[in-house]
């Protein structure tokens, strides 16, 4: 066991991760004990299982984004005052780090359900199916919220005229004239 712990620590450079690696190694060895033949020495066999387990973990970690501990997360209504407070949710941290203040203001102006949907899809990178599971709504609701969010953001950022301007233009046009 000392050799296994020593080898695991040399791979991970962390005591807790080394213990997890040893445990995973022993679990894999237990499952594959029938495949152990007389030509292998037990120690060499366990170390090769450990090496393969570590390689698998390393490759899996390279496919995942970096994880950062953020402490206690507090979700709530997002406004510009909340962005400067001491307690930040993950959403607040993302908004605070955005380089364009106009985009931040546009996101803050969205209703909470639309803002959370945009956050989960655009920032976290979840699929519509995953967002539906997280928010406990149907997948179609997530898709319509994304559509409405994009439409609101385009209008707020000036890509489309605001709704009031469109309504005003249709009422000002002479009757029978297309707008």
Tens-place pLDDT, residues 16-42: 999 999 999 999 999 988 777 766 678
Helices (H), the chain: 2-12, 15-31, 42-63, 90-96, 101-109, 112-118, 128-135, 139-156, 163-172
121-148 tens-digit pLDDT? 887 788 888 888 888 889 999 999 999 9
- Three-state SS for 89? coil
Return the biggest CA–CA distance within the chain. Answer: 95
Residue 176 has pLDDT above 70, yes or no: no
CATH of 2-63, one of 3.30.470.20, 2.40.50.140, 3.40.640.10, 1.10.1740.10: 1.10.1740.10
Using alpha carbons, list the distances in angstroms from residue 146 to 15, 64, 76, 121: 44, 25, 20, 8
Q: Residues 6 or more apart from 17 whose CB is under 8 A from it?
A: 8
Cα–Cα dist 51/57, whole Å: 10
Report which DSSP code applies to 67: P
In tens, the pLDDT along 92-131 reads 665 566 566 777 777 788 888 888 888 888 877 888 888 8
Asked if 102 and 157 touch (Cβ cutoff 8 Å), the reply is yes
The pLDDT assigned to 82 comes to 43
Q: Which residue has the tokens 């709504």?
A: 137
Helices 128-135 and 139-156, axial angle in degrees (round to 10): 100
Same topology, domains 2-63 and 82-171? Answer is no
Residue ranges per structural domain of the chain: 2-63, 82-171
Tokens standing for residue 68: 């950062």
Output the CATH code of domain 82-171.
1.10.10.10
φ and ψ at 164, to 5 degrees? -60, -40
Rounded to 5°, angle at Cα 154 from 151 and 159: 135
Supply 79's token pair: 């406004």
């Amino acid at each position: 066991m000392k050799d296994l712990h020593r080898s695991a620590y040399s791979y991970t450079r962390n005591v807790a991760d080394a213990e997890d690696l040893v445990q995973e190694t022993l679990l894999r060895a237990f499952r594959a004990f029938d495949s152990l033949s007389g030509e292998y020495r037990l120690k060499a066999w366990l170390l090769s299982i450990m090496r393969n387990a570590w390689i698998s973990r390393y490759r899996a970690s390279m496919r995942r984004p970096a994880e950062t501990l953020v402490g206690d997360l507090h979700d709530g209504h997002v406004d510009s005052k909340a962005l400067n407070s001491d307690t930040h949710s993950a959403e607040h941290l993302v908004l605070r780090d955005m380089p364009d203040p106009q985009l931040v203001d546009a996101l803050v102006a969205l209703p909470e359900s639309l803002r959370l949907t945009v956050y989960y899809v655009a920032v976290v990178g979840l699929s519509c199916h995953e967002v539906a599971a997280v928010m406990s709504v149907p997948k179609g609701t997530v898709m319509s919220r994304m559509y409405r969010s994009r439409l609101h953001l385009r209008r707020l950022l000036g890509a489309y005229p605001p709704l009031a301007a469109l309504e005003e233009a249709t009422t000002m046009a002479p009757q029978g004239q297309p707008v």
